Amino acid sequence: MASRMKKEAPEIPAGSMADIAFLLLIFFLVTTTIASDKGILNILPPKQDPNVPPPDIQVNERNIFNILINANDQLLVEGEFRDNTEGLTEDIKAFILNFGAPTEDAQALYNGLPATLKALAERSPESSDHPMTGGAVVSIKTNRGTSYETYLEVFDLVKKAYFEIYGERVGLTADEYRALVGENPGEAELIDRGKADIPMAISIAEPDKIGGE
Amino acid sequence: MAKFKKKTNTSVTISVASLPDIVFMLLFFFMVTTVMREQDLLVEQRLPQASQLQKLQKKTLISFLYIGEPRNPGLYGTEPRIQANDVLINPSDIVLWVNQEKDALSEAERDMITISLKVDREVKMGPISDVQFELREADARRILYASLQQSPQ
């Protein structure tokens, strides 16, 4: 009996298996979109309580790096007209690291910087006092008619300036520093060391309505 | 010469028995990485390019808002609109939407919610600042300007 069963055992042809698998493979190849959840992170300011007037913080004009973008996507950087964003990153880095009137803490921060960043400190009295809290602020003000693309380009360059500073402090390039996500303590320590005492002070002003949309 | 003749006599065939295995391996890789698009886009989506992109550690914290010109101008007009989940909403509905999204997260993670703004590059800053104002009201202050990696010049 057993021997007869063995003889009649049907064999499934496996030759077409590869074809079937290929068909499925191609289907998934076509439908796959590698999810792109990358982007530029921004933290909005907390909402204003209508009963409490906004805090009247006096910041010296020299401590603000003003970038205005009008409805024609033209730039006004520190009162100076520009048609494109070339060299903006370098200007912002020089502004942040100016150390015009450093406090004691800021002087200690300056002494801890690598030589390449120290070289950027011009100590001009007309530029920012120091990069610590209450010091340098980069302000971006747009119009309601400014294109999102231009706004993002400028915001991107401001971020780049900060990331280049952070990266240089820990001996990495800006790209390498940005790739750190803090998954392990070593990485988290690198991130903290890079941005310690130099907060990313980017202020997005409410857009004005003149000539908008 | 005799040596050459000997060689030609041996027939070499490559075994294709492992081909299905290789293909299945690839298949499983793509099956795992595939994310089926669960919603239809009702607005144009041509993301802008930027260089300083960051990746977020936790993907579950991200909620998406799509902003752009409607794909069906006959039905929705030509002004940029906001899409959340699979419907077009008004800026005044954002607070409600954010609260719904927050409810889906565990209590400890609610403050860490990140809104990814997928904005078409043709949109002006006006609607975006309206959205940002509403997000401040809803206390969802971490936002991500979704953009594509710029190819290095």
Q: pLDDT (tens digit, 9 = 90+) per residue, A82-126?
A: 888 888 888 888 888 888 888 888 888 888 888 888 888 878 878
Two structure tokens written together for A203: 């202020």
* Structure-block tokens of residue B123: 């949109």
- pLDDT tens column, A12-51: 777 787 788 788 888 877 877 666 678 888 888 887 777 7
CB contact (8 A) between residue A44 and residue B129: no
Cα separation of B112 and B57, whole Å?
11
Query: Which 3 state secondary structure label does DSSP give B49?
Result: strand
- Residue A84 Cα, gap to closest chain B Cα (Å): 15
Q: SS3 for A90?
A: helix
- Within 10 A of B113 (CB to CB), how many other CB atoms are there? 22
Interface test mutation site (partner B, options A24, A27, A30, A41, max chain B beta carbons within 10 A): A41
CB A200 within 8 A of CB A162: yes
Give the helix ranges, DSSP H, for chain B. Answer: 2-9, 19-33, 73-76, 94-103, 125-137
Supply φ then ψ for residue B25, to 5 degrees: -60, -45
Interface of A with B in 44-73 (CB under 8 A): 44-47
Please tell me the predicted confidence (pLDDT) of residue B96: 92
Helix (H, G, I), strand (E, B) or coil at A135: coil
CB A101 within 8 Å of CB A111: no
* A128-167 per-residue burial string, b: 16 or more CB within 10 A, e: under 16: bbbbbeebbbbbbbbbbbbbbbbbbbbbbbbbbbbbbbbb
Give CA–CA dist A127/B54, Å, rounded: 30
pTM: 0.77
Query: Burial of A212 by CB count in 10 Å (0-12 exposed, 13-18 middle, 19+ buried)?
Result: middle
Inter-chain contacts counted by CB atoms under 8 A, chains A and B: 154
Helices (H), A119-147: none
Check: CB of residue B74 under 8 Å from CB of residue B147: no
The answer to whether A110 touches A121, Cβ cutoff 8 Å, is yes
Q: What is the pLDDT of residues A38-90, one digit of tens each?
A: 888 888 888 777 777 766 666 777 888 889 988 888 888 888 888 888 888 88
Q: Which two tokens stand for residue A202?
A: 């980017």
Distance CA(B144)–CA(B64), nearest Å, equals 9
Question: Which residue, chain included where needed, has tokens 């927050």?
Answer: B102
The residue ranges of chain B whose pLDDT is under 50 are none
Using CB atoms within 10 Å of the CB of residue A12, give its burial: 0 to 12 exposed, 13 to 18 middle, 19+ buried: exposed
Q: Tell me, what's the pLDDT at B9?
A: 59
Strands B142-146 and A38-43: antiparallel
Question: How many Å separate Cα B21 from the centre of its chain?
Answer: 31
CB atoms within 10 A of CB A198: 22
Q: Which tokens hold the place of A102?
A: 């450093």
CB–CB contact B30 A28 (8 Å): yes
Q: What is the DSSP letter of A144?
A: T
Answer whether residue A152 shows pLDDT above 70: yes
What would the 3-class secondary structure string for B116-140 be? EEEECCCCEHHHHHHHHHHHHHCCC
pLDDT at residue A213 is higher than 50: no
Q: What are phi and psi of B107, to 5 degrees?
A: -60, -40
**Predicted local distance difference test score (pLDDT) of residue B153:** 56
> Distance (Å) from the C-alpha of residue B87 to the closest C-alpha of chain A?
21
Neighbours of A55 (CB within 10 A): 6
| B20–A contact, CB cutoff 8 A | yes
% of chain A residues with pLDDT over 90: 0
Interface residue A207 vs chain B (CB under 8 A): yes
What type of residue is B41? L
User: What is d(CA B82, CA B130) in angstroms, rounded to the nearest whole number?
Assistant: 11
- Of A19, A184, A166, A17, nearest to A93 by C-alpha is A166
Cβ contact B51:B150 at 8 Å: yes
